[in-house]
Amino acid sequence: MKFQIYIILFLLQCSSAKLLSQEVKGLKPVKETSSKPSSNVFAVVVGISDYQNDNITDLQYAHTDAKIFADYLKSPKGLNVDSNRVIVLLNENATAGKFISALYGLIEESKEGDLVIIYFSGHGDVESTTINQPGFLLCWDAPAHVYMSGGTFGLAYLQEIISTLSLQSKAKVIVITDACRSGKLAGSSIGGAGATASNLSKQYANELKILSCQPDEFSLEGESWGHGRGVFSYFLMAGLKGLADKNNDNQVSLLEIERYLEDNVSKSVAPHVQIPMTVGQKSAILVQVSDESKRLAEEEMHNQELKFSSDKGIEDALIQEDSTVNKKFVAFKEAISKHHLLYPRNGSAWELYQSLKNAPSLSKYHGLMKRNLAAALQDETQQVLNKYLASDEREIGKRLLYDSSYFYYPEALEKAASLLGENHFYYKTLKARSYYFKGLVQRLKAQQTDEETDYLSALNYQDSCLILDTTAAFSFNEKGLIFDKLDKMHDALKNYTKALAFSPNWALVWSNISSTYNDNGESQLALDYGQHALQLDSSFSMAYYNVGKALESMGKHKEAYTYFMDGLKIDSNNVFLNIKIGLLGFEGKDYQKAERYFLKALELAPFEIQNTINLGHLYLATKDTAKAKYYFLKAKSEHPKRIEADQGIIEFYYYTADYIAAKSKLQDYLKVHDDGMAYLLLSSLEAKDGMLEAALYNLSKAMENGMTDFETIESDPFLKDVIQTNEYSHLKTKYSSNIKH
C-alpha cells in the first residue's frame, strides 16, 4: 500500500507566469528578466523504500520513483540540470543528517532567480494531532517512536527552509513530497498518515500544491504502472512532459495537471478510490512543452495491465475492537498469495472477500481488495496466454490433454470483470479473454465429440472475443484451428494471417499454417512456413514435425526422419512426434519400435483417439487380438461419436474374421456415413456370402465415394468372382478417370 502525497509546488513569486519552459526536446527553467538572475537549478532528491527500523513498514517503489525523477532532472530531454547540482539520496544514504545537510546547502548555494527543487519520497507521520506537530518526514534512520528525537524532518522546518529560500534568497522553490503512506507507524492509531496529508494540503501564501489523493484516501503503487511505480508519480511525470496539455497550447497549467491526473489516476486504480487534488491558482503555468516532448512522453507510456497493487501495512493500520475482521483480512491476503482464489470454496479469497466487503473498518480498503482479487484472478490466465504466445510446448500439450484447468479460467475472468465493473478500463479485456477461454474449452470438447455444432459454438465465442478486442492474435489463431478442424482451409489461413498481423513473430502460427498446407497437399508451402517457424524459434518441436511431414510428402524420407528425430530430441514429450515415429516403425514392420513410441504417446495423451487406434492396428498386426480389441473398444468408449472409433471396431471384426459382427457394424455405420472403404469392406463380405449383386452394388458405392484403389480391390480374395464380371469392367472404366496420376 502506498500513501502518496505528491508534489507541493510552491510558486513563491505569483507574478511569474511560467515556472518552466521547453527548449527543443527538454524542459528547462525560464530565464527571468531580473536585475540579478543566476538561472541555476539546484535539487535534492530523496527516496526511501527500505527503512533501517524493522518496525517501520518498508515500501516498494519510493526509491524507484525518486531515481526516475532525478534522471528526469538531469536528462537533456528533461530539465537538463547540471548533475553536480542534483543531490540524490536513496535508501541507506537518505539519513536525516545527510538530508538536513543537503537542504541547508541549498540555502547557501541558491541566489535570486534560481530554481530549487526538493523531492522526498518515503513515509510521513505524526504522533499527536496538535498544531505544534504538523508532521514529520521519516528519513532512513528514523526511530519507530518519538520522532522529535531525530532521524526525521519536521514539516514546520521544511516550511521554514522554503520561506528562507523564497524570501531571503529570492529563489523559486518546488517541493515534491510522496510522504503519506500506510504502514506500521507510531501514528497509525490516530490516522498519522492522513493527518500528515491534511497538513500538507493546507494553503499558505504564494503556493501551488498537487497531491496524489484526498487526505482520507491512500494512493497505490505496483507493477501496473511502468513495470513498478507509484501510479501518481507515473502519470504526473507524463503530464508534466506534455500529455496534460489538453488545449494544445504547448503549456501545462495547474488546472490541466489536475484534470489529467483525475482522469488517468482515478480510472487506472478503479475500483479503488484515489482522486488527486490541487490547491492554488488554477491558471498558473507549470511547464512549457513541445510537440516533440509530447511524442516522446507518449512513447514512454506503457500499456496498463491489471496487476497486484501494494497494500503493505494495511493490517497494521486496522485499529478495531473486533479482531475477527482483522483475522479474516489477513486470511484473505494469504489466500491470494497461495492462489486459493475460488477453490476450495471454504476459505477461498472470493469467499473471504464476500464476508469482508461490508465491514465498516475496511471501507477505505474495499476498492483495493476488489482490485487485487481481480488482478489475482486474471493473473493465471495471463500466464497461460504468455506461455502460449511463447509457443510453450507444455502449454500446448495441456490443451491436447484437455486439461481441466481450462474450465476454471472463464469463471475466474468473469468474476474478475464483475469485481471491476463495466466502467473499468480493463473490463473489456477481461470479458474478451473470458470469451476466448470459453471458446477454447468448446473447441477442446468438439475434438472429443467431433460434433460440428460444438465447433460452430466455439467460433461464436471467438467472434465475441474479437468484438471486444480486435487485436487478439490468440483469438484469430484459435479461429484458424477451428476452421482447420472443419476442413475449411481458406478460412483457416485467413485467420492465421490476421493473427500474424498482430504477432508476426509468433512461431506457433507459422507452424499452424504449415500444418494446414500439409493437410491440403501443399507440401512446398508447408515446408516454407515450417522452416520460417524454426527460424523464429529453433526449439519449437511442432515446427520440426510439420517440416518433416512436408519433406515426407515430397519423397524426402531421410530428411524428414532427421527432422522428426531432431524434434524429439528437443521435446521427447511431443505427442505427435512420438506417434509419427511409431507409425514409421509400424510401416517398416519394426513393431517393437512402434509399440514403444505408441505407448509413450499414450502415456502423454491418454485420450488421443488416433494413437489408441494405432495401438489396435499394431496388435492386430502382431496377432495379439486381445490387446487389439481392448484398444479399439477403448477408443469407442472414450469417443463414442467419433467416426474413427467406429472404423476401428469394424476393422477389428473384419480382420479377426468375425464377419457377422463386421457386417452388422458396417451396415449400421453406412446408415450415417458415406465412406468408400466401408462400402468396399461390405462388398467384400457380400461377395464372401455369394451375394454377387449386392457386392457389385456396394462396390459401385465404394467407387462413387472415392475408393478407386483398384490394386487393393483386385487383391481381395473375396472379390475374385466380382472382378471377373462385365459390370466390374464398366465400373473400372467409369471411375479410372478419377485416379490422380
pLDDT for 631-644, tens place per residue? 999 999 988 888 88
Q: Give the end of a domain, one of 571, 596, 619.
A: 571
Split at pLDDT 50, 70, 90, the class of 412 is very high
pLDDT band at 453 (very low <50, low <70, confident <90, very high): very high
In a domain, 282, yes or no: no
Residues 36 and 183 in one domain: yes
Q: Which long-range contacts (CB under 8 A, 24 or more apart) does 64-71 make?
A: 64/228, 64/229, 65/121, 65/178, 65/229, 65/230, 65/233, 66/90, 66/119, 66/121, 68/226, 68/229, 68/233, 68/237, 69/45, 69/119, 69/121, 69/176, 69/233, 69/237, 70/43, 70/45, 70/119
Give the model's confidence band at 740: pLDDT under 50 very low, under 70 low, under 90 confident, else very high.
very low
Task: Please give the pLDDT value at position 189.
Answer: 44
For the segment 395-411, the average pLDDT, to the nearest whole number, is: 85
The pLDDT of residue 15 is 27
Is residue 642 situated within a structural domain?
Answer: yes
pLDDT of residue 141 exceeding 60: yes
Alpha-carbon torsion angle 333, 334, 338, 340, nearest 10:
-70
Rounded to whole angstroms, the Cα distance separating 447 from 482 reads: 10
Sign of CA dihedral 179, 181, 186, 190: positive
Taking alpha carbons only, the member of 31, 26, 38, 34 closest to residue 81 is 26
pLDDT at 456: 96
Whether residue 58 sits in one domain with residue 188: yes
Q: What is the pLDDT of residues 521-552, one digit of tens each?
A: 999 999 999 999 999 999 999 999 999 999 99
| pLDDT for residue 12 is more than 60 | no
- Residue 36: pLDDT band (50, 70, 90) is very low
Percent of the chain with pLDDT over 90: 48
Single out the residue in 186, 215, 244 at which a domain terminates: 215
Instruction: Render pLDDT for 128-140 as a digit per residue (tens, 0 to 9).
Output: 545 455 678 888 8
Phi, psi of 477 (to 5 degrees): -60, -40
Q: Do 662 and 535 have their domain in common?
A: no
Residue 396 lies in a domain: no
State whether 153 and 28 are in the same domain: yes
| pLDDT at position 183 over 50 | no
- Beta pairing, strands 172-178 & 20-23: unpaired
| DSSP notation for 393-425 | HHHHHHHHTT-THHHHHHHHHHHHHHHH-TTST
Instruction: Report pLDDT for 318.
Output: 52
Task: Examine the domain organization and report whether 648 and 707 are in the same domain.
Answer: no
pLDDT digits (tens, 9 = 90+) for 240-298: 888 999 999 999 888 898 899 888 888 888 888 888 877 667 787 877 888 888 888 88
Has residue 418 been placed in a domain?
A: no
Are 599 and 699 in the same domain? no
Flag whether 417 is in a domain. no
SS3 letters for 627-690?
A: HHHHHHHHHHHHCCCCHHHHHHHHHHHHHCCCHHHHHHHHHHHHCCCCCHHHHHHHHHHHHHCC
What percent of the chain has pLDDT above 70? 85
| Domain end residue (candidates: 159, 191, 215) | 215
With a CB cutoff of 8 Å and minimum separation 6, the contacts of 53 are 141, 142, 143, 144
The residues pairing with 209 across neighbouring beta strands, listed in sequence order, are 8, 279
CA pseudo-torsion sign 216, 222, 226, 228: positive
Shared domain check, 687 and 550: no
Indicate if 708 and 689 belong to the same structural domain. yes
Q: Looking at the structure, do residues 43 and 146 belong to the same domain, yes or no?
A: yes
Residue 412 lies inside a defined structural domain of this protein: no
Q: What nine digits make up the cell of 435?
A: 470469451
Residue 46 confidence class, pLDDT cut points 50, 70, 90: very high
Residue type, position 468, single letter: L
Q: Identity (one letter) of the amino acid at 430?
A: L
Sign of CA dihedral 9, 12, 15, 20: negative
For residue 353, give its domain range.
322-375
Residue 247 lies inside a defined structural domain of this protein? no
pLDDT at residue 195 is higher than 50: no
Band the pLDDT of 567: cuts 50, 70, 90.
Answer: very high
What is the average per-residue pLDDT within 686-712? Answer: 93
Mean pLDDT of the chain: 84
* pLDDT of residue 18 exceeding 50: no
Residue 23 lies in a domain: yes
For the ranges 27-31, 509-513, 715-719, the lowest mean pLDDT is seen at 27-31
Are residues 555 and 590 both part of a single domain? no
pLDDT for the residue 330: 86
Confidence grade of residue 192 (pLDDT, cut at 50, 70, 90): very low
pLDDT tens string 611-632: 999 999 999 999 999 999 999 9
CATH number (domain holding residue 622): 1.25.40.10
Q: Is the pLDDT of residue 94 over 50?
A: yes
Distance (Å, whole) CA 195 – CA 3: 12
| 142-176 pLDDT per residue, tens | 887 666 667 788 877 887 887 788 878 888 887 77
| Residue 157 to residues 140, 153, 202, Cα–Cα distance (Å) | 18, 7, 15
Q: Count structural domains, the chain.
A: 5
- The more confident residue out of 272 and 24 is 272
Sheet holding 86-90, edge to edge: 86-90, 41-47, 115-121, 172-178, 8-9, 208-211, 277-279
Same domain, yes or no: 90 and 196: yes
- Verify that 175 and 137 share a domain, yes or no: yes
